[in-house]
Chain A
């Protein structure tokens, strides 16, 4: 199951901490319970704990121009559906799954998905043909942003968020084999941008 692996501290350093995740889960439990009862301040605390992950994922999956709107949409919908959270998983897991669904459902993404097979070949070709010279190469994150939507979603969910191929296949409605082969294709492209 996907899980947050890394957080960025105020100083920008990367942290891995199971104890802090445990504390966050405990905070979530009490705040979510209060929010279900209508406590907006409690829900704001939930927002503050999770917004970085949701917004960063929105940037990666939808692009920076869509990320703010998508993030707001996620949290408004989360508020509306808090009553459906039954605690079967960590709240962060439930919220992130909801966020992925919201992002996948946004009209622009759906529209793009219909054209994906046409556009993918051209985009992949353009990315694959770039030589890895420092002058010409894109930044690693910019290269991710230029990936076709389907490939980008698989890469974000698997390599950044830690979801397994069977989970990704279920979320995106594709075969596991497709998820694996597309991920390999993405990695083969992105290795050209490692020095950037």
Chain B
């Protein structure tokens, strides 16, 4: 059974009510057996939770952790990732040039550039599928390296961010990655689209810009 006071009972149990409200609720409890019973149950839930304790994992996880540390992890230190800002700047510039290059290619009615970007860190290893020139592939590789640098730096500094800030950044990154994936998909169907090529380049720039800003925030707080 519930009444007007039921939803305040947890706050009462936790001692979070102001004195006036607490006094009013206690007056109600004196006359309401149902609320007294609910209060008692809530107190038992809290006591049960506080007594739950901790247990070791069924199997020892240290071996896997030590292996991972030895195989992949950098040694701890004040600065975990050294960013190649020169490489980042070069990548950003090249991405900008790429957008212009696409337009020129279309204007001259020559074969258009088709770029498939790495859509996630997991796909980076698959490399870049392109029918473009070696220069274009290098430009995309430069973008990819810069993005990977920034993602590592962001990852290393994420604990310095407030969770809600981190979530906003991650949601934006996901939105950008989704836009890249959708543009890539559209480009496969319509590789000659100037709009799509330019949008792809602009989206790459957005990702670099967002990552750079995120890393600047984490660096400032570390």
Contacts and interface: CB of A to CB of B under 8 A. Distances in A.
Interface of A: 4-8, 14, 35-36, 38, 40, 43-44, 47-48, 51-53, 55-57, 67-68, 71-72, 75-76, 79-84, 97-98, 101, 104-105, 110, 140-141, 155, 159-160, 162, 170-173, 180-181, 183-184, 187-188, 190-191, 194
Interface stretch (B40-48, B108-116, B140-148, B178-186): B40-48
A109 B159 CA distance: 18
B65 A75 contact: yes
A52 B54 contact: yes
Contact of B48 (A75, A110, A140): A140
Interface residues of B, number: 51
Contacts of A187: 10, 42, 45-46
B79 A83 contact: yes
A14 B69 CA distance: 33
Given A5-B50, A38-B76, A81-B76, 13 more contacts: A4-B54, A38-B75, A51-B57, A52-B55, A53-B54, A76-B72, A79-B73, A81-B80, A170-B163, A173-B163, A187-B10, A188-B38, A191-B38
Nearest to A52: B54
B129 interface: no
A55 B59 CA distance: 11
A84 B159 contact: yes
Interface of A is mostly: helix
B76 A83 contact: yes
25 contacts: A8-B53, A8-B54, A8-B55, A44-B66, A55-B54, A72-B61, A75-B61, A79-B69, A80-B156, A81-B76, A83-B77, A84-B78, A84-B160, A101-B159, A110-B170, A140-B48, A159-B49, A160-B50, A162-B50, A170-B163, A170-B164, A184-B9, A184-B10, A190-B48, A191-B41
Interface in B157-177: 157-160, 162-164, 166-167, 170
